[in-house]
Structure 1
Amino acid sequence: MLAVFAVGVAGAAVGLRWLGPEPAPASEPVVMARPVANQTAAPGNVAGSVYDAVGSAVVEIVTSVEGRLGTTPVGGGSGVVVDQRGLVLTAAHVVEGVENVRVRFSNGEVREARVLGTDTGNDLALLQVELPEGIAVAPLGDSDQVRVGDVVVAIGSPFGLEGTVTQGIISAVNRTWQPGDGRTRTGLLQTDAPINPGNSGGPLFNVNGEVIGITTMIESPIRGSVGIGFAVPSNTARRMLPQLEAGAQLQPAWLGISGVTVDAALAQEQGLSIDRGVLVASVVPDSPADQAGLRGGEDTGDGSVPRGGDIIVAIDGTTIETMDQLVEQISRHAPGDTVRLTIVRDGRQQEVTVTLGSWPAEAP
């Protein structure tokens, strides 16, 4: 099956949907109860225990823009307080393109917030806001310790309903998916905890009340949850926090190819000299890959994988055996970085230097 990377192919009927921005609610918000210091929920009530401990760390984010008729609400999402200095983690797409950001706390207070930094490649943003008294700070957990089947709790403001709590499990880890913008996301946590529009940027907690993910998107044919949600791992957020706090506006690097993982079956089918790596199926015109001279395959017209393209087997000396590995390595770079690709062309190994670009405004 062709795995698309940095090309931007439209999804099928069942597709990935960003969880926000959710239109701002017209009615008064539901106010979350103030959490207590001790977990007093009934035995076995995991969601209740987590809510009591760190529920007030979860905030609703309301965004607006300035126009000729004044300030117009445009949507919002959720976020989580991760530092007593008022640092709030959320999803980058929640605050993208807006001019005003406000944070509504569990006690009903609403305060202006400032966007410190964004990372669109990982869909993360960091806000700063003055915290009211009594607001909890949620600790970041170790997402590398998350296992399939672990119980998780999501808290957020789906459809503007602040303080909504849902529970589920981790359905998969290290998931790779591609939303409608064509950019491939890797390393995601997948959960069946009900997540809906407005949950964007909200936390996914483990049973200890630690943030192990920031919700980012759902897989659904409808505007709602069908049990497949995705979250950016907390360790990714932890790694990016210093840059975001320093004001970085991070953009994902762009190579500009579509490709497929080479395995034994494909190697035999196409008579390839190797059975690992990434076969370049096509190259986007005028992309960094095109400018570096990477060669795509020829479409046979029968729906099979294009033949004759370059096979990428390493990047900067790091072995590449799958598309996921290539995507992950490219994601470590920024636009303008130069990488050295080791490729196999017509059975011979050679090196190609590519200067990575920025994603185009519209997915190619």
Structure 2
Amino acid sequence: MNPTTFKPSGWRPARRTALFVLITAGAASPLQAADELPDLIQRVRPSVQSVGFYKETNTPRFGFRGTAFAVGDGNMLVTNAHVVATTTDVGPDSVLMVNVRDASGNDQLRRASLLAQDNAHDLALLRVDGPALPALNLRQEADAPVREGQTVVFMGYPLGAALGFAPVTHRGMVSAIRPVAIPSPTATQLDARTAARIRGGAFELYQLDATAYPGNSGGPLFDVSTGRVIGVVNMVTLKGTRESALSQPSGISYAIPARHVLELLAQQPAR
């Protein structure tokens, strides 16, 4: 036997086994993430509600506008600023409401008020009457950074009443982290939101490879591995000039990083 080629029996398989154990111990597998997802959905569902305006003479009386989710003390909800913006179909006698669905599937309209809004990042903070909802945990700055390729899910009410007021979950990944593209201000492009972004400078958005629809706006974006909210789904930023969400869905959606929600919450007085 040639001594230069001899290797003890079992040496190479043992090395491979040790390497496999080291790799699998350091990261959750896709199968593990898939197993955790149903539990995550059930846990967060009571925190995600629909928001709109109620008017006695309208048909339907509750005009759905988007999604909101509970944070803080459970009576505060986060959504997009454009979801609760006053438009031509919202009169002075319209009332901001949150449609709260309980575990039995019963709907209850609760009056809400606008606590604060951040138009530059299209965020709004509401306070809703009644018992507190389960508050969701937001990603903190000390947590691991959000990365491209990270598996995420978002929950909301796509198309609102057309599909029924039951929250729907979509799964995807963070396909890119990119700054908002500020259009050149012209007579037709320069609106209040664009002006605010020009003053505040560009900020990053999470680009997702999952399709969101009207009604998903304001919904939470979750990190599957931790269950924390890492962003707020937004259908206005960039989408209005690039894709038509209904007739030609692109499979690309955007979310606002949760750090901007933390900044909005930090501005609220202690209760």
Structure 2 length as normaliser, TM-score?
Answer: 0.66
| DSSP-derived class of the 1:54 partner | helix
State whether structure 2 residue 156 is matched by structure 1 residue 139: no
Higher helix fraction (1 or 2): 2
State whether structure 2 residue 148 is matched by structure 1 residue 158: no
Partner Cα distance (1:63, 1:193) in 2: 28
Partner Cα distance (1:46, 1:198) in 2: 26
Q: How does 1:1-364 map to 2 (within 5 A)?
A: 44-64=34-54, 73-97=62-86, 98=90, 99-107=94-102, 108-132=107-131, 135-142=133-140, 145-160=145-160, 161=163, 162-178=166-182, 181=191, 183=194, 184=197, 186-207=203-224, 208-217=226-235, 219=239, 221-224=243-246, 225-243=249-267, 245=268
Paired-residue identity, %: 31
Deviation, structure 1 residue 124: 0.5
Deviation, structure 1 residue 89: 0.5
Partner Cα distance (1:165, 1:94) in 2: 19
- Please give the root-mean-square deviation of Cα atoms over the aligned residues, in Å: 2.9
Higher strand fraction (1 or 2): 1
Partner Cα distance (1:142, 1:153) in 2: 18
Distance change >3 Å, CA 178–CA 192, structure 1 → 2: farther
Is the CA contact (8 Å cut-off) linking 2:44 and 2:136 kept in structure 1? yes
Partner Cα distance (1:85, 1:167) in 2: 25
Distance change >3 Å, CA 70–CA 109, structure 1 → 2: closer
Is the CA contact (8 Å cut-off) linking 1:152 and 1:193 kept in structure 2? no
Distance change >3 Å, CA 206–CA 42, structure 1 → 2: closer
Partner Cα distance (2:119, 2:63) in 1: 19
| DSSP-derived class of the 1:111 partner | strand
Give the residue type in structure 1 aligned to 2:98: V
Distance change >3 Å, CA 199–CA 147, structure 1 → 2: same
Aligned to 1:333: none
Is the CA contact (8 Å cut-off) linking 1:62 and 1:103 kept in structure 2? yes
Deviation, structure 1 residue 66: 8.0
Give CA-to-partner distance per residue, 1:258-294, whole Å, 9 cap, x none. Answer: xxxxxxxxxxxxxxxxxxxxxxxxxxxxxxxxxxxxx
Partner Cα distance (2:262, 2:243) in 1: 32
Deviation, structure 1 residue 131: 4.7
Partner Cα distance (2:217, 2:174) in 1: 17
Distance change >3 Å, CA 233–CA 138, structure 1 → 2: same
Give the residue type in structure 1 aligned to 2:253: G
Give the residue type in structure 1 aligned to 2:157: S
Is the CA contact (8 Å cut-off) linking 1:53 and 1:209 kept in structure 2? no
Where in structure 2 are there 5+ consecutive unaligned residues?
Answer: 1-30, 184-188
Give CA-to-partner distance per residue, 1:119-155, whole Å, 9 cap, x none. Answer: 111101000113547x421000137710001111110
Where in structure 1 are there 5+ consecutive unaligned residues?
Answer: 1-40, 247-364
Partner Cα distance (1:237, 1:174) in 2: 18
Q: How many residues align?
A: 203
Give CA-to-partner distance per residue, 1:299-339, whole Å, 9 cap, x none. Answer: xxxxxxxxxxxxxxxxxxxxxxxxxxxxxxxxxxxxxxxxx
Partner Cα distance (1:109, 1:74) in 2: 14
Deviation, structure 1 residue 235: 0.6
| DSSP-derived class of the 1:177 partner | coil
Partner Cα distance (1:86, 1:223) in 2: 31
Structure 1 length as normaliser, TM-score?
Answer: 0.50
Give CA-to-partner distance per residue, 1:186-206, whole Å, 9 cap, x none. Answer: 211111122110011111111
Give the residue type in structure 2 aligned to 1:222: S
